[in-house]
Amino acid sequence: MREQARMTGERILVVEDEENLSRALDYNLRQEGWEPVCVSLGEDALSLFKESHFDLVILDIMLPGLSGLEVCKRIRSLSDVPIILLTARSLEEDKVHGLDSGADDYMTKPFSLAELKARIRAQLRRRGYKGKLVRGEIEIDPSRLTVLKKGTPLSLSRKEFQLLLELASHPGEVLNANRLLSKIWGDSIIDEKTLQVHIRWLREKIEDDPSNPKYIKTVRGVGYKFEDQA
């Protein structure tokens, strides 16, 4: 894994106001071959994010000035980039609040740097889709986060887009609920009912007849599969 990181050199925005931790993160991420850019203020993080490309964001919640949660929300409104939150808070409600703000993962201080690096690699793998996908009348562009049906743009939420991309990337393959929950929601408190709701919303947007779907099929007792209509 380390050699792969050295070759790819992903850029990581680190937003952390504790100087010692920021230095430790900078050193350890560089040892893995990543390119960290460290700032201590939320305002600076937003400015940098708008000016440059980043593959992942590590974001402390307790920042001076603009809070980490607000920074998270604003970054999420601009991009689908993976966001890992860091916080000294350990209550479940704090974790839920952070994930609801658009974060992909959440770590409580103090944490293991080895575990953080593993979670970074996991998030970067989830971003590994390349090129457009064309499935029948549906065209998915992961780089632009857009979906077209017969050339007409569809308005999908972030989770709907991720779910569609995951299903369409494995046409004809049955993906079980646990796999989809892990892939789309990661290490978060989500049950299968949430997945079912998102499947229903997605069908309402991409299917001609959501009650009789031709793209997203339910395989009872197992999960879902995407039928390629090419």
Residue 117 shares a structural domain with residue 6: yes
The CATH number of whichever domain residue 58 belongs to comes to 3.40.50.2300
Distance between CA atoms of residues 55 and 34, nearest Å: 10
Beta strands in 46-164 (DSSP E): 56-60, 83-87, 105-108, 133-135, 138-141, 146-149, 152-153
Distance between CA atoms of residues 115 and 101, nearest Å: 22
pLDDT tens for each residue of the chain, 230 residues long: 333 333 346 889 999 999 999 999 999 999 988 999 999 999 999 999 988 878 899 999 999 999 999 999 999 888 888 999 998 876 666 677 778 888 899 899 999 999 999 999 888 877 664 557 888 899 988 767 889 999 999 999 988 998 999 899 888 889 998 888 888 887 566 778 899 999 999 999 999 999 999 999 999 988 999 997 65
Range of the domain at 192: 133-226
Tell which of 126, 150, 185 closes a domain.
126
- Which pTM does this prediction carry? 0.55
Tell which of 94, 126, 158 closes a domain.
126
Total of domains in the chain: 2
The CATH number of whichever domain residue 193 belongs to comes to 1.10.10.10
Residue 141 shares a structural domain with residue 120: no
